[in-house]
Amino acid sequence: MLTIGAFAKASRLSPKALRLYDELELLRPARVDPETGYRYYAVEQLARARLVAWLRRLGMPLASIRQVCALEPAAAAREIRAHWARVERETAVRRDLAAFLVDHLTAEPRKDTAMLELRYSAHSDTGRVRPANQDTAYAGTRLLAVADGFGPAGAPASSAAVEALKFLESEELPAGSVLNLLEDAVRGATEAVRDVAEGSEEVGTTLTALLWTGSRLALVHIGDSRAYLLRDGGLFLISHDHTVVRAMVDEGRLDPEEATTHPQRALLLKALSGGAPAVPDLKLHDALPGDRYLLCSDGLYGVVPDERIERLLASVPAPDGAVRALVDEANRAGGPDNVSCVVADVVEAAA
């Protein structure tokens, strides 16, 4: 038996921490002297004490540590990996926000380059299976948006979210205010969807939108609709799916291969809904002449592979033709879901 002092030294935990872990039932002493109240620990408890100490250093909450300590080593390793993937995901959101702010504070207005503008087209189609269309697609001179509603009031939810952003079309965009405007927009969309959902978390919508600032595109994104960029002939996914399956892949619990056919692949981790409010991703993209952006609902990428999307986007010159080709392709593949596409090209403004 070791005294608490000796055990603290050997485990690199303080006696104070050991007393706390005793109270929290993370690590109970092997024996407590009934007379003096002194705690005694067995040498075999050192391994667990060291694990607790390391997990504390990792910043793992006590409740999770208790769970991990109760597991076999292989299962404990999986939990630790999953915990760390969650930390990295949360950090990534803050990293994007930090990059967004740095960009705003340091960017020089473009003077030497030509004025840029968007050429755009949007279309939403019911598809071949669903009885109604719950998607909403919109494109204007400054705002591009796709929303995929779910639940009994999915259609009004997706249209309310997009409607709530349309004030951005007419708003002046003085330098540095984009972030505030987006925050207002997100708050407006969140409230609009909550009104439609009337407190039900079964009703809601995804929302993926791009706001044109004259030289950049600000992305607002929540859910599993997607934003892609076609640049120099290559297709890049610039949004991150907020799905349970995507999170499982990130946490190493699922192969990317398995994810594409997983029965719960549409289960959302985050969305605008009548439930607890969720924070969308915000990102800023520098636009270059020749860039082509695509916003789409899962009704497109769920049945049309990325390589095919890339080929269609690269081969059809006008945005309206590209939108039509993509929607047709989804319907040719069976059209199992509503399908919405917005295509926008960054072009030099006509003098």
- As measured in angstroms, the least distance from the Cβ of 274 to Mn ion is 18
Q: Which of 236, 176, 169 is nearest to 209 (CA)?
A: 169
Q: Work out the number of other CB atoms within 10 angstroms of the CB of residue 102.
A: 11
- Do 16 and 5 touch, CB atoms closer than 8 A? no
- As measured in angstroms, the least distance from the Cβ of 58 to Mn ion is 37
Per-residue H/E/C for 305-324: CHHHHHHHHHHCCCHHHHHH
When the beta carbons of 139 and 300 are compared against Mn ion, the nearer one is 300
- As measured in angstroms, the least distance from the Cβ of 255 to Mn ion is 23
- As measured in angstroms, the least distance from the Cβ of 54 to Mn ion is 43
Bridge partner list, 228: 237, 294
Burial of 162 (C-beta count, 10 Å sphere; 0-12/13-18/19+): buried
Rg (CA), the chain: 26
When the beta carbons of 24 and 267 are compared against Mn ion, the nearer one is 267
User: If you ran DSSP here, which 8-state letter would residue 168 be given?
Assistant: G
Type and span of the H or E element at 190:
helix 178-197
When the beta carbons of 45 and 134 are compared against Mn ion, the nearer one is 134
When the beta carbons of 287 and 296 are compared against Mn ion, the nearer one is 296
User: If you ran DSSP here, which 8-state letter would residue 164 be given?
Assistant: T
- As measured in angstroms, the least distance from the Cβ of 339 to Mn ion is 8
When the beta carbons of 121 and 158 are compared against Mn ion, the nearer one is 158
- Do 125 and 334 touch, CB atoms closer than 8 A? no
When the beta carbons of 188 and 302 are compared against Mn ion, the nearer one is 302
- As measured in angstroms, the least distance from the Cβ of 148 to Mn ion is 4
When the beta carbons of 125 and 298 are compared against Mn ion, the nearer one is 298
- As measured in angstroms, the least distance from the Cβ of 136 to Mn ion is 11
C-alpha separations of 315 from 92, 289, 321, 331 in Å: 34, 17, 10, 19
Alpha helices in 29-177 (DSSP H): 46-57, 62-69, 73-106, 154-163
When the beta carbons of 121 and 225 are compared against Mn ion, the nearer one is 225
Bridge partner list, 120: 344
Binding site for Mn ion (CB under 5 A): 148, 297-299, 337
- As measured in angstroms, the least distance from the Cβ of 89 to Mn ion is 23
- As measured in angstroms, the least distance from the Cβ of 121 to Mn ion is 20
C-alpha separations of 261 from 45, 72, 227, 249, 302 in Å: 44, 30, 21, 13, 10
Residue with tokens 């407590």: 32
Contacts of 101 (CB under 8 A, 6+ apart): 179
When the beta carbons of 51 and 300 are compared against Mn ion, the nearer one is 300
